[in-house]
Amino acid sequence: MGAGIAAGLMAPAPARAAATAAATAQIPVRVVVVTTFEIGKDTGDMPGEFQTWVEKLPLKQELPAPGTWHGVMRYNPDLQVLGIASGEGPEHMASAITALVLDPRFDLRQAYFVLAGIAGIDPKFGSVGSAVWAPRVVNGGLAHAIDAREIPADWPDGYTPVQGSRPDERPVPPLHSLSGDMAYTLNPGLVRWAYALTRSLTLEDTTALKAIRARYTGFVPAQAPPSVLLGDTLSGETFWVGARMNAWAERWVNYWTKGEGVFATTAEEDVGFMQALSLQAQAGRMDLDRVLLLRTASNFDMPPPGQTAADLLKSEASEGGYSGYLPSVVAAYQVGSVVVRELSRNWDRYAAHVPQAR
């Protein structure tokens, strides 16, 4: 056995994995754009999250994506940007990201990951059509729960940490344990940099959006035009609505971030996204400091005054989609593409050094 081969076999597993990826990589990737769904075709019909990127960035080249929900990825060889539609839900997201990072065609150790998807928004935080960069992701799906008819009178809601028995369990349990992963903090400097780069953008404001937010009397943030914001996302696959659930979401984010976080948006896939990337980062296959998460508001997560939660659910379903769906899809590309193009076009600056807000 040659000395070089022996040394390679004796190297730590992450180093061997990284060396193997580098040796077999054929397609250079500077940025991975991650979306969660496409409705029909990737071009030419009703757009999902993926289609706008495919048509406008553009991502013309098709690549097979074995082991993923969508089955294909898209690529721009000039920008060296790879796009993927993971499929909805944390399970689809985690499996798609894992399949991507393990794909021998790519060396993603220096690649940036930008998740750009739609979400619900708290009317106490912002308005429909807005774009929100997330400093943190909080797991809203892992908990103990008591039926609403049996909640103790002195509890704010029926949810407790899975590691405890009261909503206000103290001390706050570990964020990462055998029980699961409750919260992730993204690279603060990178998040602030992306926000600073995009905060002055003027987002689409339609007649329909103005009519939607006019209903939210008493909610000052909800009545503002769409804008680029900073706020935390709550991730869970139950599609919840209503003022009481919104109050739980605000409390849950506050609890797990020890008062530092602000609940802004609610979506499904973000915890699966961060879990998969965190494990692959441990193996040396990607850099967790190069991850960004952008959510654009397609709907409010609670009804306006005078409407019940059930009314809101019915109206959203009967309209054939979320109230601000198309503007939110447009905003995800408009805001996200500014960051993606900046990273890609100035790769000599960002390949070795992750940008930080001044």
**pLDDT exceeds cutoff 90 at 3:** no
Q: State the DSSP H helix or E strand holding residue 62, giving kind and residue range, or none if neither.
A: strand 61-64
> According to the model, what pLDDT value does residue 223 have?
97
Nearest to 29 by CA among 340, 250, 356, 357: 340
pLDDT for 197 beyond 80 = yes
Percentage of the chain with pLDDT > 70? 92
Residue keyed to tokens 């407790």: 160
At 298, phi and psi to the nearest 5?
Answer: -95, -15
pLDDT of residue 24: 54
Per domain, the residue ranges of the chain are: 31-142+179-352
On the question of pLDDT at 8 being above 50, the answer is no
The burial of 141, by beta-carbon neighbours within 10 Å (0-12 exposed, 13-18 middle, 19 or more buried), is given as middle
What average pLDDT does this structure show over 92-105?
Answer: 96
Which whole number is the average pLDDT over 197-209? 96
- Of the candidates 331, 293, 284, which has an alpha carbon nearest to the alpha carbon of residue 11? 284
CB pairs under 8 A, 24+ apart, for 170-174? 172/255, 172/256, 172/258
Question: To the nearest whole percent, how much of the chain has pLDDT over 90?
Answer: 88
Whole-number pLDDT of residue 59: 98
Structure confidence at residue 318 as a pLDDT band (50, 70, 90): low
CB 286 within 8 Å of CB 113: yes
CB atoms within 10 A of CB 261: 24
CATH of 31-142+179-352, one of 3.40.50.1580, 3.40.50.1970, 1.10.260.30, 3.50.50.60: 3.40.50.1580
For 245-252, what is the mean pLDDT?
98
The reported pTM is 0.91
Q: Report, as an integer, the average pLDDT of 64-79.
A: 95
Beta bridge partners of 263: 232
CA dist., res. 86 & res. 84, Å (int): 6
The pLDDT score that the predictor gives to residue 322 is 76
Q: What is the mean pLDDT of residues 308-313?
A: 93
Give pLDDT, residue 1. Answer: 35
